[in-house]
Amino acid sequence: MRKKSRSMENKDGVRLMEELNSLGEFCRSSNVANLLIPEISHWSIGQHIHHVLKADRLNFKAAEVILSGKGSPWSDKSIAVEHPVMKTGVIPRGVSKAPEFVQPPKKIDVADLEALRLKVMDLWQGVLPALQEDQEEWGMIPHHALGELGALDWLRFAWIHSRHHGEIAREIWAARGSKSDSDSGP
């Protein structure tokens, strides 16, 4: 059987909400959202946020399906909690490419970005109370790179992934120098 950590679920939900909330500071200005520093990333701040929000919406859908009792049965060789990303909580930079269906648009509209951020936060806040403990009978939905994930695993991954892209967005903002003189701050 797969290992479970009952102490992580509430922390991961709180951490996810804190991270998504903090990304709002970059959703107020088109100059900020579209700030691109190629030495740091080929995506702008807003593209990182848009990507993570699209992915978090899908992560939520997976958790929601599992909570509704429509997850798949676990296999005998589930290794989800053993995957380095799930174990360490860190996604190494530049190791993988985002799937096409979560690629961001070339130009970011801040009103759309903020609406998406608020929608994703609402979706997750609606299921967090149900994510108090993992239930083996809930089942799983496989992730294309991480393997079999239960509902709490999808929540944990949403936080890890959001933090990863939030860190890159904050790094771009910190390195802006004179690139964003017209905007004093997010």
Domain ranges, ordered by start, for the chain: 9-175
The answer, yes or no, to whether residue 169 has pLDDT greater than 70, is: yes
Per-residue model confidence as pLDDT tens digits over 85-132: 988 999 999 888 898 999 999 999 999 999 999 999 999 999 898 887
Mean per-residue pLDDT over the chain, rounded: 87
Tokens of 32: 């900020």
Label residue 182 by pLDDT band (50, 70, 90). very low
Of residues 77 and 127, the one with the higher pLDDT is 127
Dist CA 30 CA 183 (whole Å): 10
Confidence class of residue 1 from pLDDT cuts 50, 70 and 90?
very low
Amino acid in the structure at residue 19: E
Whole-angstrom distance, CA of residue 118 vs CA of residue 107: 19
Average confidence (pLDDT) over 32-37: 97
Whether pLDDT at 135 is above 90: no
Q: Where does residue 42 fall: left (phi above 0), alpha (psi -120 to 50 degrees), or beta otherwise? A: alpha
pTM above 0.85, yes or no: yes
Which class would CATH give 9-175? mainly alpha
Selected residue with higher pLDDT from 178 and 124: 124
